[in-house]
Amino acid sequence: MSEPFLIMGLGNPGMQYALTRHNIGFMCVDYLARAYDIPMKRESKMNAMVGKGMIQGQKVILSQPLTYMNLSGEAYQKLIQYYHLPFERTLVLYDDIDLPFGRIRFRPSGSPGTHNGMRSIFEATGQKEIPRLRIGINTPLPMWDLANYVLANFSDEEKQQLPHLLKAITEAVAYWVASGSQSAMNRYNALDLLPAESELPKEP
């Protein structure tokens, strides 16, 4: 039996951050856990919430670090060492201000850019060949402070679209598990995942 896949969503722990843009990685893992009936539990030795289950006939480990974003590498490093996972069987999900809301980008490797969570993972591992899924949250307007923007809640319009988007991202992650980075890039990197107007819930 091959090794499991590790799917780690990045975010900040605590209810005050739960619905912020910076936590969309956490939101995706929560949605995956519900969609595939994978119970999540606190694993203190890993500094993370961890759940084990199956997606597309493959064993997976879902994870959300219990550290703050800028220390995400601690949990990632502990998990890959404990489960003896090669980097190519991991996928890190995180927010990206350089992509529009509704767009995602699979990448098999690359630099962390400005993202503190991904930078922490790079510093902990010394490795750039880490598959990731960048999730667009829009570029802040010039008057926005970057930290305030990513730690703010989604707009009302985005909140309305979010359930559809999280479902689409869950399907994309499942496709990655089954088919790998290159196929997932070809299928999803040019797609707009936002719902059509007719698919949005109507006001009562």
To the query of whether residue 84 is one of the catalytic residues in this protein, the response is no
Long-range contacts of 14-22 (CB under 8 A, 24+ apart): 17/151, 19/153, 19/154, 19/159, 20/150, 20/151, 20/152, 20/153, 20/154, 21/95, 21/137, 21/149, 21/150, 21/151, 21/152, 21/153, 21/154, 22/69, 22/95, 22/150, 22/151
Residue 83 DSSP class: T
Residues 6 or more apart whose Cβ sits within 8 Å of residue 153? 19, 20, 21, 159
Report the 10 Å Cβ neighbour count for 141.
Answer: 7
Q: Which of 22, 84, 115, 164 is catalytic?
A: 22
Contact 31, 25 (CB under 8 A): no
What is the C-alpha end-to-end distance of the chain, expressed in Å? 51
Residue pair 31/166 in contact by the 8 Å Cβ criterion: yes
Dist CA 23 CA 30 (whole Å): 11
Active site residues: 22
